[in-house]
Structure 1
Amino acid sequence: MKTIAQFVKDRITTPADLQDALQIAMQLEFSTIPPYLCAQWSIDSDPSDVAGMIEGIVVQEMYHFALAGNMLAAIGGVPNITNAAFIPSYPTNVLPGGIPQKLAVDLQPLTPEQAQVFMQIEYPEFPPVALAAAPATIGAFHDTIADGFKTVNPPINPNAFSVTSGEAKPIKTIADALAAISLIKGEGEGTAGSPDQPPAGNKTFAHYYVFKEIFVGKTLVQDAAGHWSFSGAAIQFPTTFKFQQSTATPSRSFAFNQALSQLLIGLQACWKSGAKPNIGAMFNLRTLGVGLITQGIRPEFLWVPLA
């Protein structure tokens, strides 16, 4: 399968390429969720509700992941998320699709350094192009997918099975697909602006700005002249539980990995057979993950085959 840089360079001109690009988009969106969850679940004392700030980002990433799957299903593809290769191996310096990361993306407790890793992942796209060392930005990839929908103009199955929850809506037209890509880009990694000046008109801050608020310890506010700065109310950095990878046999994360695999199986069934999202499975994963972290054990986020 092509890298994101190849898609951006060669453009998307065939239905097969569009399906492949959307599969990578699903994996890219999902790849951020395990590190963000580990950071959120590690939080102990939290007077400024930093956990809630991160949870809001995780929920949006889940919607973005689901929207990519809905787009793929709508053009006749089948999301493929129930295998070991779908979940990245952490730590990694390369996000799915070949997006390089100078700071390793890992499963760690929330620290100022980890907040910087998250800011790196979500860095806005602005002239001059952010992450100049990268062959292509995530934002450029989103634009390429949007252009691909316009170029290929694939037939849309308005009755395709989909994940329907919150921002995740069924894709019934090309316009729906373009709106979904715009939402993903605006909330996530591809916003147009600068590191200190979010784009005008956005109702909520993109993920980069939220993580920078946590890192700086101040909210982002706008003055009477319209200038933004991280000079608002103080955000107190929370205390956290420390954890590390367990070397015990059998793995202390086995039940957690089973729950993760079951969750992915359930989500794929939404696109294959019209099943409803299992919200209980998501809460079960959280319970198991928090249980490991409070014991000082890192959740592994590994695929395990289920009988």
Structure 2
Amino acid sequence: MSPNEPGKNPRRLRKMRTRRRYRRKFAAPVNREWRCAMSSMTTGTSPMKTLREYVEARILSRDDLRGALQLAMRLEFATIPPYLCAEWSVGHDPDHTRTVVHQVVIQEMHHFALAGNLLTAVGGTPSIAHADFLPVYPANELPGGIAQERPVDLKPLVKDQLAVFMQIEHPDFPPVARRDTPPPPTIGAFYDTIIETFRETEPAIDQNALAVEVPLAPPIRTVDDAIETIDRIKREGEGVPGSPDVPASEGTNHAHYYLFKELFVQKRLVKVDGVWSFSGAPITLPEVHDFMPSTAAPDLSLEFRRVLSGLLTSLESCWTTPGTEPDLSAMFDLKSTGQDLIGRGIRPDFTWLDPS
């Protein structure tokens, strides 16, 4: 018998036993008890692990995988309010910078939805329609305990805010056209850990899981579909090592970090003689509306909060109630209400409002 056969190779035999043990943990059928357990874990009755804990301790159970995907939803959502406020603040805009930010917002919304689809695919239930889901701004940490040197806040589209956006989207590898090599952030490692979990444990995928339709995203029917979905989220935010390009079908020419860096340095990122550099056409930043929190009574953001809370409730229903579609009218209402507030110099209040 060859030493490469399992019976004569102790290391390989241990690996096979470990993999079988993990598969037994991950392959249990999707049932109501698991969904209820996930709901209680993500609504605050059980503390959620930090991103670092998931990366360092690995994801060793089905509950851990669902918890990690719920955290991914929180992480993707946390970037949306700052990006929306920056977009809504834009006035005169000769170089169409608002369009750039809007494209990023749309992709972040897609990433948020894809994380929810991944969660239902492994038997979890997204929990987003409650006060604890919404981040508090300014934030010195992103969800999962990711420390930020520059606080993440709701501000107009100015250079200081672009620096914050670059910080959020910084690649997990040294970006091109940059000389220094700061320590990589942990977001990329977090997604890599989730990918590794799907690849190594091959968890059962619920073929009938409810999902939100996302353009250009195939249904999650297999482990390979799940891995490709996570890779898309990571790739669109960070790009790929050595190149800022993402596939042309994704709607933007470069990954998010490079789009924001173009606005920050006010130069297009171009490739000349095989080398990327921020040396292209100049970019003029837009005029913006400044805004601040309102102290008026009654609360001028009350309608905005009502629309936001209703939208989150509607979205959660898409993953829990068959036949439910995203409330597009609520999305447009959120935009028009938020733009109106910022036009009046008032910061939109992204906080929960209990239905009454």
Pick which of 84-93 and 165-174 moved more: 165-174
* Mapped partners of 1:167, 1:32: distance in 2: 22
Percent identity reads 50
TM-score normalized by the length of structure 2: 0.81
Letter in 2 for 1:245: P
* Mapped partners of 1:90, 1:131: distance in 2: 26
Q: Determine if the alignment matches structure 1 residue 76 to structure 2 residue 128.
A: no
1:150 Cα offset (Å): 2.0
Pick which of 207-216 and 151-160 moved more: 151-160
Q: Determine if the alignment matches structure 1 residue 140 to structure 2 residue 189.
A: yes
Deviation per CA, 1:244-269: give whole Å up to 9, x if none.
Answer: 00011221111001100111011111
Alignment of 1:34-49 (within 5 A): 34-49=81-96
Q: 1:200 to 1:112 in 2, by over 3 A?
A: closer
Match of 1:256 in 2: 304
Match of 1:198 in 2: 243
The SS at the match of 1:276 is: coil
Match of 1:121 in 2: 168
1:200 Cα offset (Å): 6.2
Q: RCO higher in 1 or 2 (8 Å CA, sep ≥ 6)?
A: 1
**Residue ranges of structure 1 left out of the alignment (5+ in a row):** none
Is the Cα contact below 8 Å between 1:92 and 1:104 reproduced in 2?
yes
Q: 1:49 to 1:201 in 2, by over 3 A?
A: closer
1:14 Cα offset (Å): 0.7
1:24 Cα offset (Å): 0.2
1:202 Cα offset (Å): 4.8
* Mapped partners of 1:127, 1:45: distance in 2: 34
Q: Determine if the alignment matches structure 1 residue 239 to structure 2 residue 284.
A: no
1:165 Cα offset (Å): 2.9
1:45 Cα offset (Å): 0.3
1:72 Cα offset (Å): 0.2
Is the Cα contact below 8 Å between 2:195 and 2:227 reproduced in 1?
yes
Alignment of 1:154-193 (within 5 A): 154-189=203-238, 191-193=239-241
Pick which of 15-24 and 248-257 moved more: 248-257
Structure ID, larger Rg: 2
* Mapped partners of 1:94, 1:50: distance in 2: 27
* Mapped partners of 2:181, 2:306: distance in 1: 38
* Mapped partners of 1:29, 1:298: distance in 2: 21
Q: 1:201 to 1:110 in 2, by over 3 A?
A: closer
Deviation per CA, 1:12-53: give whole Å up to 9, x if none.
Answer: 121000000000000000000000000000000001110000
* Mapped partners of 1:164, 1:131: distance in 2: 37
Match of 1:279 in 2: 328
Deviation per CA, 1:118-151: give whole Å up to 9, x if none.
Answer: 000000111599653x8x5100000001111123
Q: Determine if the alignment matches structure 1 residue 218 to structure 2 residue 267.
A: yes
Letter in 1 for 2:226: A
1:192 Cα offset (Å): 4.2
* Mapped partners of 1:252, 1:264: distance in 2: 20
Is the Cα contact below 8 Å between 2:245 and 2:255 reproduced in 1?
no
The SS at the match of 1:158 is: coil
The SS at the match of 2:149 is: strand
Q: Determine if the alignment matches structure 1 residue 23 to structure 2 residue 70.
A: yes
The SS at the match of 1:94 is: strand
TM-score normalized by the length of structure 1: 0.94
Pick which of 287-296 and 146-155 moved more: 146-155
Is the Cα contact below 8 Å between 1:131 and 1:137 reproduced in 2?
no
* Mapped partners of 2:275, 2:78: distance in 1: 33
Q: 1:183 to 1:217 in 2, by over 3 A?
A: same
Q: Determine if the alignment matches structure 1 residue 111 to structure 2 residue 158.
A: yes
Letter in 2 for 1:268: E
* Mapped partners of 2:208, 2:328: distance in 1: 23
Match of 2:316 in 1: 268
Is the Cα contact below 8 Å between 2:246 and 2:254 reproduced in 1?
no
1:152 Cα offset (Å): 3.0
* Mapped partners of 2:106, 2:245: distance in 1: 23
1:199 Cα offset (Å): 4.6
Count the aligned residue pairs.
Answer: 300
Please tell me the root mean square deviation across aligned C-alpha atoms, in Å.
1.7
Match of 2:278 in 1: 230
Match of 2:99 in 1: 52
Is the Cα contact below 8 Å between 1:63 and 1:167 reproduced in 2?
no
Q: Determine if the alignment matches structure 1 residue 4 to structure 2 residue 51.
A: yes
Q: 1:169 to 1:268 in 2, by over 3 A?
A: farther
